[in-house]
Amino acid sequence: MNPDLSTPQPPSKRKLAATTAIALAVAAVLLVTIVLPAEYGVDPLHTGAALGLTTLSAPAAAKAVGVPAGATLYKPVQDGPIGYYGGAYKVDSTVLKLGPYEYLEYKYRLEKGASMMFSWTATAAVTHDFHGDPGSGKGAEQSYDKKDRQASTGTLVAPFAGMHGWFWENPSSETITITLNSSGFYSSAMESRSDRTRRAHELTSLKRSPETGKNESK
């Protein structure tokens, strides 16, 4: 037996280095052209778009077939526990000053069944009435929570279409500041004050881009 014939010769260091370099280069090309576009939506060479790989990285919601029939921009269609909307999801953040004994109403327009989440705090206790107004005249308002409060956090599913929000009154001779944060499927916000001024508030709309599948705010 010739021991030299059964023992494979190890590759030279130069050959090992060259092979390793080639493997790393191939891995890098695959990473940039296939893995990054498919997994993370990162497509610097546009190979993912060309191969249709970027759709794989789109969020699951973006792959939904669409909004069920009957859903309008802000009126949901209920499918089990899920409410589907055709409109953009909105967020709002505002700081309101209430001078001594002043009051104001801050309301959102919500369709029946539409939902929102809210959180507000005041620098002192305020007279408060969280209510809805279908807009059919005086006396049609429906109170959801009416008591003096300094803060509140919760969710609302509108029991009817109309304006839904808060009446806040400053019962003291010192100025009170109210900070409100909310999000949901409302279409507009209106502030009405005891000095009879009214002001529409601009809302931030979170809309999913059809191109990137990501949310864009405006």
Partner 1 sequence: MTRLTSIVTALALAFSVSVPLSAHDDYRVIGIVTKVQATKLDVKARDGKNYSIKLNKETFINRDKKKVGASELKAGQSVVVDATGDSQDDLLALEVRMVPAIAPSAAK
- What residues line the site for partner 1 (CB under 8 A)? 97, 99-103, 173-175, 194-196
State the minimum distance, in angstroms, from the CB of residue 120 to partner 1. 18
Nearer CB in complex with partner 1: 57/194: 194
Where does residue 74 rank: exposed (0-12), middle (13-18), buried (19+ CB within 10 A)?
A: buried
C-beta neighbour count of 48 within 10 angstroms:
25
Candidates 150, 151, 79, 166; CA nearest to 116 is: 166
- Gap between the Cα atoms of 215 and 3, Å rounded: 68
Q: Which residue has the tokens 């006396």?
A: 139
Nearer CB in complex with partner 1: 12/197: 197
State the minimum distance, in angstroms, from the CB of residue 144 to partner 1. 22
State the minimum distance, in angstroms, from the CB of residue 209 to partner 1. 38
CB 204 within 8 A of CB 92: yes
State the minimum distance, in angstroms, from the CB of residue 145 to partner 1. 22
